[in-house]
Amino acid sequence: MLKHLTPADVNQISLLAREAVGPLSDAPFQRADQPYPGHDDKRLARAALREAIHALSKEARNELLALMWIGRGDFGGSFQSAVEHAQGRSTETDPHYVAEKARALPVYLQTGLEQLGIR
């Protein structure tokens, strides 16, 4: 069960992840040397996502990693085993690692919460 990470933390990170990827664009193809519409907004949102993850305590970040792994089906053991695994591999790059998954992160986290019986 979650001890350091709250469902509110998870919801905030999910919201930031959604903002970081934004809706799929219907804009016409852009040349590579031209920024696409909303580029700066998404860049700022990705930075906010990384900062929010970094602001969590180390223990909460480990639970976030474990929740993500459980939610995407990468970890077959218990949540506690996943947390222990996260503790063993945790580095300062964890916020970047998690933020890279922004497109699917809300689904991973929600599925992880559901598997823990948290709605």
Q: What is the pLDDT of residues 55-109, one digit of tens each?
A: 999 999 999 999 999 999 988 889 999 999 999 998 999 999 999 999 999 999 9
Please write the tens of the pLDDT for every residue from 22-47: 765 444 555 555 554 555 778 899 99
Residue 76 belongs to domain spanning: 7-20+37-115
Does some domain include residue 28?
Answer: no
Give the helix/strand (H/E) hosting 84.
helix 79-89
Which two structure tokens, joined as six digits, stand for 70? 């459980």
Tokens for 43? 């860049």
Number of domains in the chain: 1
Residue 2 is assigned to a structural domain of this protein: no
pLDDT at site 6:
96
pLDDT at 23: 64
Q: Helices 58-71 and 79-89 meet at what angle, rounded to 10? A: 120
Is there a contact between 3 and 83 (Cβ–Cβ < 8 Å)? no
pLDDT at 43: 86
Would 30 be classed as within a structural domain?
no
pLDDT at 58: 96
